[in-house]
Structure 1
Amino acid sequence: MKQHRLAAAVALVTLVLAGCDSQTSVELKTPAQKASYGIGLNMGKSLAQEGMDDLDSKAVALGIEDAVGKKEQKIKDDDLVAAFADLQKRAEERMTKMNAEAQSAGKKFLEDNAKKDGVVTTASGLQYQVIKKADGAQPKPTDVVTVHYEGKLIDGKVFDSSIERGAPIDLPVSGVIPGWVEGLQLMHVGEKVKLFIPADLAYGAQSPSPTIPANSVLVFDLELIAIKDAAKAAADAAAETDDAEVEEAAPAK
């Protein structure tokens, strides 16, 4: 874990200390009570995403109560600094272990997956399997394409899905992760494929989201719906920009 990520979590705790009601026998009726609960909920989610799942929630609540009630703190600052250093060290150790496990599991997954019927492995290490074949055009690096997709980890957990949202997306072929850049150019319009993307062709050690562990192999169900006309795609993008500018300039209702 990076230092700034722990600092962000600590800053969130500070926000709660500054903004929470001092009442610990909580009712969730008024807007202020609900907002206070939401702050605590977001704080807990943030800390859990950082891997700090061994925190004592009662001790957190006690710290909030003492701060809001202007009581004498029960632990000296020097001891708190040492405790935070220990917390960060343990979180980093957990993260290192998780990264190593993800890397090992991903390697084994790809080795086993490469032996399955219909799975093709390219020179880069990308693996793909054609689910529905078609004879449409193939996109170039300069094209904008319309796709439907669903992204999963190797354990089957879905982390993103245009299919669930019910709306395909337009994207530039060269504006996505390397595994997609290569995979899209292998496809024909109308085809559906499954991409198995090694970590170094995805996000590597730099996870973009807590839902995607570092060094993860990613699995995508991908459908290439269309290749957009370049001029039309540029015009559509310009129109969207103009609409946004008009909306920003419009007076509030």
Structure 2
Amino acid sequence: MLRTALPVAVAAIFSSAAFAVDLSTDAQKAAYAIGYQFGANAKRDGLPLDAPSAAEGLKDGLSGAKPAAEPAALQAALDKLRTDLEAKAKVAADKNAKDGAAFRAEFAKTKGVKKTESGLLYQVLTEGKGAKPTATDHVKVNYRGTLPNGTEFDSSYKRGEAVNFQVNQIIPGWQEALVMMPKGSKWKVVLPPALAYGEKGAGNAIGPNQTLVFEIELLDIGGAAPAAP
């Protein structure tokens, strides 16, 4: 569920046959990877950065040069950007909350759908016969995550590799669902924002107050996590 941009950056560095900059040393490659990661994170988070200006600011900051504009003007621009982003997030949060509530209400009417006290909705697609994991168990799952409109934001199926993690180290909705699922089960789960990423969202793909839809397939259950040394 959680992925960083660094592997992408490293892959981009070493898979390209031609570079626009000199990357002949490890130090240059590492520096490029850091810059790439910063850019990828900004894109993921929906931060509208002008690349040439950001690069120039980075260069001036690293060299210790005098800023290209008065500090007061730069701070004012940052404050405006923050205000604009907050206003945009507020509009998105209100829309997502309204649309998500309507989606969950409609999904709750689907045959076989059950609702827990927390507001989690689930539909058993395949009934497993195995044991159920506990909060401290490690599990192996395949999953697909979409927004209510069907937009897919993540899928272990597409990557061709199931994921392993400890149950109590993921978002609340997954924690609640997994401990109810017998091994071998496949469920469709709809999470209200409070059981997913809440008011903050998760990057550009998952907005604030976003309802999330998952298909979760519990493939295997491991033992409890080893004690810390």
* Alignment TM-score, normalising by the size of structure 2: 0.70
Matched-pair contact (CA < 8 Å) for 2:132–2:182: yes
Q: Distance in 2 between matches of 1:190 and 1:98?
A: 37
Q: Per the alignment, do residues 29 and 138 of structure 1 end up closer, same or farther by CA in structure 2, a change over 3 Å counting?
A: closer
Q: Distance in 2 between matches of 1:175 and 1:50?
A: 22
Report the alpha carbon displacement of residue 127 of structure 1 after superposing the two structures with TM.
0.6
Residues 1:31 and 2:28 are matched in the alignment: no
Structure with more of its chain in helix, by fraction: 1
> Which residue, out of 117, 122, 125, partners 1:131?
125
Q: Distance in 1 between matches of 2:215 and 2:149?
A: 14
Amino acid at match of 1:105: D
Which range moved further: 162-171 or 94-103?
162-171
Aligned to 1:87: 81
Matched-pair contact (CA < 8 Å) for 1:142–1:173: yes
Amino acid at match of 1:31: L
Report the alpha carbon displacement of residue 207 of structure 1 after superposing the two structures with TM.
3.2
> Which residue, out of 209, 218, 225, partners 1:215?
209
Unaligned runs of 5+ in 2: 1-18
Q: Distance in 2 between matches of 1:171 and 1:194?
A: 19
Q: How many residue pairs were aligned?
A: 208
Aligned to 2:103: 109
Report the alpha carbon displacement of residue 146 of structure 1 after superposing the two structures with TM.
2.5
> Which residue, out of 97, 113, 118, partners 1:119?
113
> Which residue, out of 145, 151, 157, partners 1:151?
145
> What do you get for the CA RMSD once the two structures are aligned?
3.6
Q: Distance in 1 between matches of 2:134 and 2:56?
A: 59
> Which residue, out of 160, 167, 173, partners 2:167?
173
Matched-pair contact (CA < 8 Å) for 1:51–1:95: no
Unaligned runs of 5+ in 1: 1-26, 243-253
Aligned to 2:180: 186
Report the alpha carbon displacement of residue 37 of structure 1 after superposing the two structures with TM.
7.8
Matched-pair contact (CA < 8 Å) for 1:150–1:221: yes
State which structure, 1 or 2, has the greater radius of gyration over its C-alpha atoms.
Answer: 1
Partner of 1:213: helix, strand, or coil?
coil
* Alignment TM-score, normalising by the size of structure 1: 0.64
Partner of 2:179: helix, strand, or coil?
helix
